[in-house]
């Protein structure tokens, strides 16, 4: 059981920093895999087995997010791990994401392939998606997302607030007693889930959409669309009306002027 009065040990700090490193490694490995590996042409018939394996593989990764998002699970982990709760989540998420990219089966077929100026436009949009996602994460606090900021908070866990999700911004640290506050400037004034918008651009703005990429893009984005209502419900319940006010100020969830 975590003792909130005890200082964070060097071992705990090492655990958190290694987790942050895994976080960066997993995202870098995904970018490499999506660009260099998933983009390879594969011959042969498209079988249900390969598609099914990939869907199940990503579903395991998605299930981890769903389980860790439950208030009861997060509360239990916070009681047990204290400020390392987020780091534990980052460790598991990062290792699972690396496993998904490594074990993703290549699938034969090309969904679309464009050349010329259109290809350069798509490359520009994809790079823009990466930049937009990183910028949006920085607006939240990348150090908090990576589990480092929480090491500086040592208030009793009974006062803990929910950890920020990928679409929350300017939330206090888990053990802070400050009021919840949501920014309406920058990317979070455009849509409520700008990191997810960046993800859409990353996975779909490609000149050569192999079937390997296409299944990954569709499955991951379907999960995001399913997850958004649950995330927002949790934020509405835990932010004392702040997220409801934010929803009125920024009505679009994912696509400016559309959705």
pLDDT at 180: 64
pTM: 0.85
What confidence tier does 173 reach under pLDDT thresholds 50, 70, 90?
very low
Overall residue count recorded for the chain in this entry: 259
pLDDT digits over 193-204, tens only? Answer: 999 999 999 999
Q: Is residue 161 part of a domain?
A: yes
- The verdict on residue 3 lying in a domain is no
Nearest CA among 151, 139, 143 for reference residue 14: 151
Percent of the chain with pLDDT over 90: 60
- Which residue is listed with tokens 């960046």? 198
Block residue for tokens 């998420």: 93
Domain that holds residue 43: 10-249
- Structural domain tally of the chain? 1
149 part of a folded domain: yes
The Cα–Cα gap between 107 and 120 comes to 25
Asked whether residue 87 is assigned to any structural domain, the reply reads yes
Calpha distance 169→156 (Å, rounded): 23
- Residues 97-118 pLDDT 10s: 999 999 999 999 999 999 999 9
- Residue 257 domain flag: no
Say what the pLDDT of residue 221 is. Answer: 96
Q: Is the pLDDT of residue 255 over 70?
A: yes
State pLDDT tens for residues 179-227. 567 888 899 999 999 999 999 999 999 999 999 999 999 999 999 999 9
Query: Is 5 a member of any domain?
Result: no
The answer to the question of residue 133 being in a domain is yes
Q: What single string gives the DSSP state of each residue in 30-67? A: HHHIIIIITTS---S---HHHHHHHHHHHHHHHHHHHH
């Amino acid at each position: 059981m975590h003792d909130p009065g005890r200082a964070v040990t060097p071992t705990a700090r090492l655990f958190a920093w290694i987790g942050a490193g895994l976080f960066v490694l997993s995202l870098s490995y995904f970018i490499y895999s999506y660009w260099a590996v998933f983009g390879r042409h594969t011959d042969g018939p498209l079988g249900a087995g390969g598609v099914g394996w990939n869907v199940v593989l990503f579903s395991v990764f998605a299930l981890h997010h769903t389980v860790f998002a439950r208030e009861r699970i997060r509360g239990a982990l916070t009681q047990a791990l204290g400020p390392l709760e987020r780091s534990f989540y980052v460790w598991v998420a990062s290792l699972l994401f690396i496993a998904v990219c490594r074990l993703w089966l290549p699938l034969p077929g090309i969904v679309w392939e464009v050349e010329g100026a259109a290809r350069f436009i798509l490359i520009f949009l994809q790079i823009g998606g990466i930049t937009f996602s990183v910028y949006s994460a920085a607006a939240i606090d990348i150090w908090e997302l990576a589990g480092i900021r929480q090491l500086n908070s040592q208030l009793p866990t009974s006062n803990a607030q929910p950890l920020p999700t990928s679409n929350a911004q300017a939330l206090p640290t888990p053990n802070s007693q400050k009021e919840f506050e949501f920014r309406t400037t920058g990317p979070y004034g455009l849509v409520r889930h700008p990191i997810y918008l960046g993800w859409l651009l990353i996975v779909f703005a490609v000149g050569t959409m192999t079937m390997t990429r296409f299944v990954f893009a569709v499955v991951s984005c379907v999960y995001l669309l399913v997850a958004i209502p649950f995330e927002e419900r949790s934020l509405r319940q835990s932010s004392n009306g702040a997220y409801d006010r934010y929803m009125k100020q920024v009505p679009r969830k994912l696509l400016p002027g559309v959705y």
